[in-house]
Amino acid sequence: MTAATTRPGDRRISPVFLGIVAVMAVTGWATWTGFAEQPGLAVFLFVTAAWVVSLCLHEYAHARTALHSGDVSVGAKGYLTLNPVKYTHALLSIVLPVLFVIMGGIGLPGGAVFIERGRIRGRWRHSLISAAGPLTNVLFAAVCTAPFWLDALDGVPRDVRLALAFLALLQVTAAILNFLPVPGLDGYGVIEPWLSHGVRRQVEPFAPFGLLFVFALLWLPSVNGVFFDAVDAILRGLGIGDVDSYCGFELYRFWQTDAFCSVSS
């Protein structure tokens, strides 16, 4: 089955999403040109809007892959319009991830769209549907870091560089967390079709608590250190230093000041 089995209106891009993209474009332009009187506010709006766009694309990737795998119900549910309001768990998919970015600078995995798995045949299709979301974060991270690993930063304003570094950090953290094989996360969805029926039944009750379990672990200093060491190593491999990602986070939280980042600039 393909997108042809859905109504054209089910695939029309939502004005809500277009409005978020417009905010991202305008604030990105303001950050690049230095037009804004308060550059930190422009960076805050740019990164937040770009993060919400990536969340919408993450959920869209799940839905679009499910559509081409046989679940035509995703069209009627509004998942193909990129409208964040249409997602099954708007609070988990949009509100909480944005709050976690503001509070802690970490990319929280959003709640997945509701897929009618009974319509889909084949274990590989089920795995691909689950993998499609975090793979979108991987692609988004590659785009954000392209100026760094292509050595094309000449002429790129400092605030834009820092904003992209922080946005890349969010995408990398989101991809890693999403790919963890923990019930309730996309990583478990990738391997679940290959597990025995008995194992799936035993694990199923824990799925609603998987994300809470992961974040409880991240509160442990030793686990938190290993996690962010891995994130920093990936970012360094993509050409982004620790100072850029750290100062990008500080610039994003414009209501606070950091003398180190001011001196580093």
Tell me, letter by letter, the H, E, C secondary structure of the chain. Answer: CCHHHCCHHHHCCCHHHHHHHHHHHHHHHHHHHCCCCCHHHHHHHHHHHHHHHHHHHHHHHHHHHHHHHCCCHHHHCCHHHCCHHHCCCHHHHHHHHHHHHHHHCCCCCCCCCCCCHHHCCCHHHHHHHHHHHHHHHHHHHHHHHHHHHCCCCCCCCHHHHHHHHHHHHHHHHHHHHHHCCCCCCHHHHHHHHHCCHHHHHHHHHHHHHHHHHHHHHHCCHHHHHHHHHHHHHHHHHCCCCHHHHHHHHHHHCCCCCCHHHHHHC
pTM score, whole prediction: 0.91
Q: Which of 37, 59, 192, 250 is catalytic?
A: 59
59 is catalytic: yes
The 10s digit of each residue's pLDDT in 175-202 is 999 999 999 899 999 999 999 999 999 9
| Each residue's pLDDT tens digit, 141-183 | 999 999 999 999 999 999 999 999 999 999 999 999 999 999 9
